[in-house]
Amino acid sequence: MGGYKLAMTSKPIQQLCGIDHPCAGHLFKSEIYFGNRTIELDNFGRLGIEFELAVRIGRDLPSAEGPWDRQKILPHIEEVFPAFELVDDRHADYQSLNILTVIADNACSGGVVLGTACHEWHQLDFDILPVVKDLNGDKENSNTGLALGNPLNSVVWLANFLNDKDCQILSGDILMTGSTFATYFAEKGDVIEYHIDQIGSVKIEIK
Q: Identify the pLDDT of residue 20.
A: 77
Q: Go through the domains of the chain in sequence order and give each one's CATH number.
A: 3-206 (3.90.850.10)
Q: Identify the pLDDT of residue 83.
A: 98
Helix, strand, or coil (residue 145): helix
**d(C-alpha 107, C-alpha 24), whole Å:** 6
**d(C-alpha 189, C-alpha 100), whole Å:** 34
Burial of 172 by CB count in 10 Å (0-12 exposed, 13-18 middle, 19+ buried)?
A: middle
**d(C-alpha 37, C-alpha 74), whole Å:** 30
Q: Identify the pLDDT of residue 99.
A: 66
Helix, strand, or coil (residue 57): strand
Which positions of the chain have pLDDT values less than 70?
A: 12-13, 16-17, 90-105, 107
> Is there a contact between 53 and 114 (Cβ–Cβ < 8 Å)?
no
**d(C-alpha 142, C-alpha 128), whole Å:** 9
Average pLDDT over the chain reads 91
Q: Identify the pLDDT of residue 19.
A: 73
The model carries a pTM of 0.90
